[in-house]
Chains A and B, each alone.
Chain A
Amino acid sequence: MVAGLTVSERQLALLVLGLLASGGLAMAAAGRGDPLGAHGFIVLIISVALAFLVLSRYHDPEPSQERLSEYYDDPTRVGIVLAMIWAVIGMFFGVWVSALLAWPELTFVDQAWASFGRIRPVHTSGVIFGFGGNALIATSFHVLQRTTRARLPDQFSPWFVLIGYNLFCIVAASGYLMGVTQSKEYAEPEWYADFWLVIVWVVYFAIYIRTLMRRKEPHIYVANWYYMAFILVVAVLHIVNNLALPISAGSAKSYTIWPGVQDAMVQWWYGHNAVAFFLTAGFLGMMYYYLPKRAERPIFSYRLSIISFWGITFMYMWAGSHHLHYTALPQWVQTLGMTFSVMLLVPSWASAGNALATLNGAWHKVRDDATLRFMMVAAVFYGLSTFEGSFMAIRAVNSLSHYTDWTVAHVHAGALGWVAMITFGSFYALVPWMWKQERMYSPKLVEVHFWLALSGTIIYVFAMWNAGIIQGLMWRTYNDSGTLAYSFIESMVAMHPYYIARTVGGLFFLAGAVVGFYNIIMTIRMARRGAAAPDSASDVPAVAVQPGE
């Protein structure tokens, strides 16, 4: 880690860590008696520990000039491991919160931090930002260098992004346990964490654009379009939705500048596009690189890539208001949201179809190779959940599905089936390349992970579909005398068996992630013991040339 930095970069690292430590100290001093102060101490401890790490290796020899003719992959390697750690943490909390809905006394401790409302965002942020975000950062650095044939611009800034991002995740997750939250869904972290993320994100964008400017390929490869859209649009969404006024410099508490109905619109413009640009665009970038590479097939259609990319970039931004059907949001906005959500099916299926058609001629590999099968199943779930999303955005359907567990089913079809599966598939392809091995430590365990993940997802999603539809129907059922047939509590009691089934599905998925983490760690250990496999001939995937060009 430190050995890869030049002396001037080590000095820069110490300077930045010094600034960060002073920032932590200032927070600790200003926020005495407030959770802000506790966060100040966390920041201080982490930055001092990292400074010691840099100092202890400060006099190591500098990396040789030859490094400039190679790609810089250390941040990717560390990012993969961090992503898997967050996967296990985030999914563990997911299983725990799901168990609390079946058995509410399962808090173990009757403490505030262990209550459902505080640990649920640890699950959502842990898997979305911890697991998903680290996976995106790690793979984006890898894909960016391979598809531009240019090395990252320097050795310091990728570490700044990776470690700075994880600092954000740690502050966010520990904050929820202390009760620090804006209660804005998927944007819970408070103002100072949000501010820090903006700094990290600017550096991330700078790495991307600086590398692209130095590319040796004339064209920017399609995976990079998606990674760029992810970085740019998430920045805009994050800044606009989190504009807030802290009540004082020494308090973690802030109030959003957006009031009531406008806040609802901004929040779901953010919320739905966090799905679009964090959980879709970024992972499509992953898919457009690792799937054709693993299948050793060119992308099926360049035209479809263009249509789906610009369709997604344009239309998703209109779709957020479908979260607010029949609410106090003006109806014209609801109708716009519904319309664009339905149209979104076209670019979404163009992407899913493009991925599946790329596998033509490689289906025997899908049968034999669990890694490629992960990616294939991910593309299928992407197609299914985008169809379901467009369907649920229709007002009449939404009147039944909204507020019920059907939403939870939909989210997890996307999150488990698409996001997590494409990540695991990409990691299983990437890890042997990164640690210069012929294959993973155990291809059998990849197979085990695949079946655990797939069965877990199916159990989970079917349980929640049933739960949601039953719930929605019970709420609107009338008896013969024209009054509501069921009390709310009756609908809640009816959920119990499905909540248990969901916990079982989640446990399967968590078990798979643990198996995957073990397999990756063992592959790394295998690499440390044994010899390296030769590099593959070309890292750049082929793109089909259209007739007439």
Chain B
Amino acid sequence: MFGEGILQGLYETAKNFFGSYVEKDRLVTVQFPEERRDLPEATRQFPFLLYDGNDPEAGLRCVSCQICEKECPPQCIHIEKSKDKKPDFVGKPQFYPAVFNIDVSTCMSCQICVEVCPFDAIRMDNEFELSTSNRFAGLLYTKRELAKSNDYYRKIHPTEAAECDERRDKEAEAAKAKAAAAAVAAAKAAQAAEQQTPPAASTPAASASSAANGAAPKPAEQPAEKKPVTQ
């Protein structure tokens, strides 16, 4: 029939036009700035640094082992190690990054820094509205801009954060138990020493505390030997 194709075409168009108002799975348009779709949990944009507690300086998990700096494919991370040490989450003194910069204009969001970090210190953010008027300094993120709290991490990656928290709690508990055991052992040893030679050079308390420090777990002893955390 002459014109059959035209009628078919009109039918198809009409079906799709009206269908787009009725079918639920076709109402896909999101009015972006006002409405937002939920991002998948795995979404990654750029890395950030995690800190425990409320102080981004004292709680920063990074121990400046510089593995991420070495492994980063486009070499966008720059770290300068501190001269002094601060205690980490189990109380062991560790180095911290005096300078930690990420050039997000070079970063390609590959997540390799996250995979290789043995300290759960660096994670991927899902923030994507990052435009700035300064393309040099505005895109060079320093330690202060990078540090985000663990609560924020729990909010953006709940599953991953729960696993991470569990692992770290276990580690902290083990460290505590080990330190307590070491303290007891040291106290006993000191007592025994005191009984043998009463005027001992060191007091039991002092030796116990130094032993506890020395026996703390060694997540940071030799970072290069540690297995990467595969996510």
Bind each other? no
Residues of A within 8 A of B (CB): none
The chain B residues found within 8 Å of chain A, CB to CB, are: none
